Structure 1
Amino acid sequence: MKHMLKGALVALAISNFAQAADEKPEIKTPPMLSALEEEGGTIHDRWKINEHLNGFSLTIGMDQLIVYATADGEYVLNGSLLDKSADDLTPEFSKKYLPEPSFDGVVQKLEASKWIGTHNQKASRQLYVIHDPNCPFCKKAHESIMEHQYTAKSGVRWIPVAALGQSSLEMAAALLESKEPMKLQDDFNKGYHPSEAEITASKKNMQDVMDNTKLMKLLRISGTPAVIVVEDGTVKKIITGFQRGDILTALGV
Structure 2
Amino acid sequence: MTFKKILPALALLTLPIITQAETYPAPVEAMRERGVEVLERFDAPSGLTGYTALFNGRPLALYVTEDGKHALIGSLLNAEGEDLTGVVLEEKVSRPQSKIMWGKLKDSTWIADGSDKAEQIVYVFTDPNCPYCKRLWKDARPWVDAGKIQLRHVMVGTLGDSSQKKAAFLLSSKDPEAALMGNESGESPAKEAKTIEDKQRQQLDDNQQLMAMLGVSGTPAILQLDETGMMQMHPGAPQGEQLIELFGPRP
* Corresponding residue of 2:162: 167
Tell me, yes or no, if structure 1 residue 194 matches structure 2 residue 191.
yes
Q: Contact 1:126–1:229 (CA<8 Å) still a contact in 2?
A: yes
Q: Which moved more, 1:202-211 or 1:105-114?
A: 202-211
After TM superposition, list the pairs within 5 Å mapping 1:2-151 onto structure 2.
Answer: 59=56, 102-151=97-146
Match of 1:246 among 238, 242, 245: 242
Instruction: State how far apart, in whole Å, the 2-side matches of 1:131 and 1:161 are.
Output: 6
Instruction: State how far apart, in whole Å, the 2-side matches of 1:163 and 1:201 are.
Output: 15
Distance 1:124 1:151, change over 3 A: closer
Tell me, yes or no, if structure 1 residue 226 matches structure 2 residue 224.
no
Aligned-residue RMSD, C-alpha? 3.7
Q: Contact 2:133–2:219 (CA<8 Å) still a contact in 1?
A: yes
Distance 1:171 1:247, change over 3 A: farther
Q: Contact 1:125–1:232 (CA<8 Å) still a contact in 2?
A: no
Q: Residue by residue, what CA displacement relative to the aligned partner does 1:90-141 show, whole Å, maximum 9, x if unpaired?
A: xxxxxxxxx9864241011000000111223223521001111112211211
Percent identical across equivalent pairs? 27
* Corresponding residue of 1:54: none
Instruction: State how far apart, in whole Å, the 2-side matches of 1:191 and 1:43 are.
Output: 50
Q: CA deviation at 1:145?
A: 1.8
Distance 1:157 1:231, change over 3 A: farther
Match of 2:211 among 210, 216, 225: 216
Q: Residue by residue, what CA displacement relative to the aligned partner does 1:183-207 show, whole Å, maximum 9, x if unpaired?
A: 33236x4794515xx4347663122
* Corresponding residue of 2:183: 185
Distance 1:136 1:186, change over 3 A: closer
Distance 1:247 1:130, change over 3 A: farther
Q: Which amino acid aligns with 1:246?
A: Q
Q: Which amino acid aligns with 2:202?
A: Q
* Corresponding residue of 1:153: 148
Q: CA deviation at 1:43?
A: 7.8
Distance 1:105 1:214, change over 3 A: same
The DSSP-based 3-state class of the residue aligned with 1:105 is helix
Q: Contact 1:155–1:251 (CA<8 Å) still a contact in 2?
A: no
Q: CA deviation at 1:158?
A: 0.8
Instruction: State how far apart, in whole Å, the 2-side matches of 1:129 and 1:247 are.
Output: 14
Distance 1:109 1:191, change over 3 A: same
* Corresponding residue of 1:67: none
The alignment's TM-score, normalised by the length of structure 2, stands at 0.54
Runs of at least 5 residues in structure 1 that lack an aligned partner in the other structure: 1-40, 45-57, 65-98
Aligned positions, number = 165
Runs of at least 5 residues in structure 2 that lack an aligned partner in the other structure: 1-33, 38-54, 59-89
Q: Which amino acid aligns with 1:128?
A: Y
